[in-house]
Structure 1
Amino acid sequence: MLLAELVKTTDDVASTRSRLAKVDALADLLRRLEPGDIATAVGLLIAQPRQGRVGIGWRGMTAAMGEPAAEPSLTVADLDAALDRLHATAGAGSAAERVAILRLLTAAATEREQAFIAGVLLGELRTGALEGVLTDAVARAADRPVDAVRRAAMLSGDLGGTALLAITGSAAQLDAVGLVVGRPVQPMLAATAASASAALEATGEASVEYKLDGARIQVHRLGDVVRIYTRTLAEVTHRLPEVVEVVRGLPVRDVILDGETLALDEDGGPRPFQETMARFGADAARAAVLHPWFFDVLHIDGRNLLDEPLVTRIGVLERIAPEYRIPGEITADAAVAERVSRDALAAGHEGVVVKAVGSAYAAGRRGSNWIKVKPVLTYDVVVLACEWGSGRRTGLLSNLHLGALDPAGEFGEPGGYVMVGKTFKGLTDALLRWQTERFQELEVRRTAGTVWVEPVTVVEIAIDGVQRSSRYPGGIALRFARVKRYRDDKAAAEADTIQTLRALLRS
């Protein structure tokens, strides 16, 4: 199949809000794909190619982008083969070789295909083809029950492989996909609530557990063989020898554990998330030791526990790994839930997760049985620039560049603004239209993709915190920033300062 057909489908999906229309468009595409292209196409649609990360960033992508082709000629298989070559390129001179591979690829791509390829490689493909929608489309294309497709995808951790099996295999083969020790499954996800008591009201009796600011891990042990996977199911066993040692010491033969790992300070408190991720993402050994904390067990010694109630799984976890179980209490009392939440925050953690004690482990699902509660931080910052959108936001200014006030000129000109991040989240259609018009009125310069504006517009954002960053001059970046509202009542000189935001970093 020509890549242009897949790209057109992503545009069609991005241009509609109708879930049904998205599913129909994707199902039609899946039916037309050759079997050999199905798994590849699914990975491309969700910006998760089967090769994983191939070492390309914005700088490399920009350096490789030349004049586009006039007519489409690239196939899905061509792009997949290029990603194979990029993934295999390593060692001295690999950066230049990657750029050369990319130049050949993008030279054969039309302008729209170039943008699509960049989105896939940078993980910033905003098409509306979320995994849930795509799972429904696979079921539609294969004429299989959605629940059967969803469960197979969850337990295999591979939506592309599931799509191939559902479309080309039998119903019995799809139903036969099960939990296998050593093969990662999609992690269970949590909804959100404003308070622990509100979450408890939704779940009933629950396990109220600390929400750690660490890295999610799924650990599989089969005899003496231990494998560790990330939230995205990438294997990182070689990076976490201390976790391997802990799990090998547990009194079990086979086990699958779900949990978090994080760096601790000298007093046993959590170090900043950025330090955990720096150690977590390193191929070489680092000085910081990562401590594992487990909050669930999916399998033990031949017994699958996915469908067992949480209270049973907690009992198993208490028996095999009491020293490594995440702190928490089982309660139906809102006052107790709030106390545990306060204790978690006082200990330097993010908040709590409230989990219904009778709930099964719903791999890959975000339902009301797990509910996370953490304080929302809001700050007023200034818009420095705005990027043109793509897909449904084509023709609209979308991604905001955000700056904090620097009154003393610690990181630039006194009274200037220091960039601390970007966001396109939280913007309604009305806000998109308004800011597209307004920011062009405030324009001071532009490139093909970005409009820089006078720094006079204050926007209130919600964030989950900040992290250390060498990308921005203030040394920090906002975490999960989303727009709450524009503050017409505030002057830019009243915005929050870079010093205020930097104070959020734990020492």
Structure 2
Amino acid sequence: MLLDELVKTADAVASTRSRLAKMDALARLLKRLDPADVVAAVGFLTARPRQGRVGVGWRGMSAAMGEPAAEPGLTIEDLDAALGELQALSGAGSAAGRAATLRRLTSAATGREQTFIGGVLLGELRTGALDGVLTDAVARAADRPLELVRRAAMLSGDLGGTALLALTGTEADLAAVGLVVGRPVQPMLAATAASVADALEATGEASVEYKLDGARIQVHRAGDDVRIFTRTLADVTHRLPEVVEAVLSLPVRDVILDGETLALGEDGAPRPFQETMSRFGAEAARSTVLHPWFFDVLHVDGRDLLDEPLSTRIGVLESIAGDYRIPGETTADPEVAAKVSRDALAAGHEGVMLKAVGSTYAAGRRGSNWIKVKPVLTYDLVVLACEWGSGRRSGLLSNLHLGALDPDGEFGKPGGYVMVGKTFKGLTDALLHWQTGRFLELEVRPTAGTVWVEPVTVVEIAIDGVQQSPRYPGGIALRFARVKGYREDKGPAEADTIQTLRGLLRS
């Protein structure tokens, strides 16, 4: 199949907010795919190609972009093969080889295909084709029971492979996919609630556990062989020898554990998230030690626990995890749950997770079985620039460049603004149209894809915190920033300062 057909579908999916319309478009594409293209196509649509990361960044991608082809000619197979070539390059001369492969690939692509390829390679494809929508589309295209497709995708950890099996195999083939120690499972995720009381009302009796500001890990042990996977199912065993050692000390032979790992200070308090991620992403051993904390068990010594209620899984976990069990308490009492939350915050953690004691383990967000509650921090920042949107937001200014006030000029001009991050999250259609008109009136200079504006507009931004970052002059970047609303009642001089935001690192 021509890559152009895949790109057209991705554009159609990105241009609508309707989940049903997204699913219909994806299902139509899946039905037309040659079986040989299915796995690659699913990887491209989710910006997670089967080759994984192939060593291409913004700079390399931008340098490779030349004049686009006039007509579509690339196939899905061509893009898949090119990514295979990029993955295989290493050692002396690999940079030149990578640049040559990228130039050959992009010169054969139309302008729209170039944009799509960049999104795939950089993991920034904003189509709305999330795993859940795509899984539903697979079930529709293959005419298979949705729950059977979801379960096979969860247990195999491979949506592309599941799509191929669903489209070319039988229901019995899907049903035969089981839990295998050593093969990662798609993780269960949590919804959010504004308060512990709201969350407990939704879950009923729950395990109320500390919400750690760490990195999600899934650990598989088969005898003396231990493998550790990330939230995205990447194998990072070689980076975490201390976690391997901890799991080998547990009184089991075979086990699959779900949890988090984070760095601790000498006083036992959690270190900043950035330190954990810096250590977590290191190829070589570093001095920072990561401590594992486990909150679920999916298999132990020949017994699958996925379909057992959480109350049973917790009992098993407590019998094997020892000091590596995440702190928490099972309760239906709002006061007890609130106390666990206060204790978690006092210990320096993010908040709490509430998990219904009768719930089984299911990939993704499934109703209100798992709910996270953590304080929301809001700050008033100044809009410095805005990027033109794509897909459904084409023709509208979308991604905001955010600045904090620098009253004393510690990081630049006194009274100026220091950029601390970007966000396009939380913008309603009404806000998108309003800010497009507003910022075109305030434009001071345009650049490719971006409108720079007078720094006079204050916007309230919710964040989960900040992290150290060399990307911005102030040395920090916002975490999970989203728009709460514009503050027309405030002037730019009333914005929060870079020093206030940097203070979050210390706290």
TM-score range, shorter chain: over 0.9
Q: Give distance in 1, aligned partners of 2:324 and 2:27.
A: 44
Residue 177 (structure 2) aligns with = 177
77-86 vs 96-105, which moves further: 96-105
Give unmatched runs, 5+ long, in structure 1. Answer: none
Query: Helix, strand or coil for the counterpart of 1:103?
Result: helix
Letter in 1 for 2:167: I
1:357 is displaced (CA, Å) by 1.2
Letter in 1 for 2:133: V
Residue 499 (structure 1) aligns with = 499
Letter in 2 for 1:334: P
Residue 255 (structure 1) aligns with = 255
Residue 217 (structure 1) aligns with = 217
259-268 vs 309-318, which moves further: 309-318
1:60 is displaced (CA, Å) by 1.7
Alignment of 1:266-277 (within 5 A): 266-277=266-277
1:243 is displaced (CA, Å) by 0.5
Residue 454 (structure 1) aligns with = 454
1:97 is displaced (CA, Å) by 2.8
- 1:165–1:174 Cα contact (<8 Å) kept: yes
Residue 120 (structure 2) aligns with = 120
Query: Helix, strand or coil for the counterpart of 2:56?
Result: coil
Query: Helix, strand or coil for the counterpart of 2:235?
Result: coil
Alignment of 1:328-367 (within 5 A): 328-367=328-367
Q: Give distance in 1, aligned partners of 2:322 and 2:264.
A: 19
TM-score of the aligned structures, taking structure 2 as reference length: 0.99
Letter in 1 for 2:134: L
Q: Give distance in 2, aligned partners of 1:192 and 1:209.
A: 14
Residue 397 (structure 1) aligns with = 397
Query: Helix, strand or coil for the counterpart of 2:367?
Result: strand
Residue 435 (structure 1) aligns with = 435
- 1:271–1:506 Cα contact (<8 Å) kept: no
1:364 is displaced (CA, Å) by 2.8
Letter in 2 for 1:472: Y
Residue 407 (structure 1) aligns with = 407
1:444 is displaced (CA, Å) by 1.1
Q: Give distance in 2, aligned partners of 1:196 and 1:240.
A: 33
Letter in 2 for 1:482: R
- 1:4–1:72 Cα contact (<8 Å) kept: yes
1:61 is displaced (CA, Å) by 1.5
1:332 is displaced (CA, Å) by 1.2
Alignment deviations for residues 162-218 of structure 1 (CA, whole Å, 9 cap, x no partner): 000000111110111111111000111111111112211111111110000000000
Letter in 2 for 1:410: E
Residue 288 (structure 1) aligns with = 288
Residue 147 (structure 2) aligns with = 147
Query: Helix, strand or coil for the counterpart of 2:506?
Result: coil
50-59 vs 290-299, which moves further: 50-59
Work out the percentage of aligned pairs sharing the same amino acid.
83
1:331 is displaced (CA, Å) by 1.1
Change (3 A) 1:133 1:446: same
- 2:132–2:364 Cα contact (<8 Å) kept: no
- 1:181–1:256 Cα contact (<8 Å) kept: yes
Letter in 2 for 1:301: D
Alignment of 1:416-495 (within 5 A): 416-495=416-495
Alignment deviations for residues 236-292 of structure 1 (CA, whole Å, 9 cap, x no partner): 000000100111111111000000000000101100000000000000010000000
Residue 308 (structure 2) aligns with = 308
Residue 106 (structure 2) aligns with = 106
- 2:191–2:365 Cα contact (<8 Å) kept: no
TM-score of the aligned structures, taking structure 1 as reference length: 0.99
Aligned residues: 507
Q: Give distance in 1, aligned partners of 2:316 and 2:301.
A: 11
Letter in 1 for 2:259: G
Give unmatched runs, 5+ long, in structure 2. Answer: none
Alignment deviations for residues 120-154 of structure 1 (CA, whole Å, 9 cap, x no partner): 11111111211111111101110101111111101
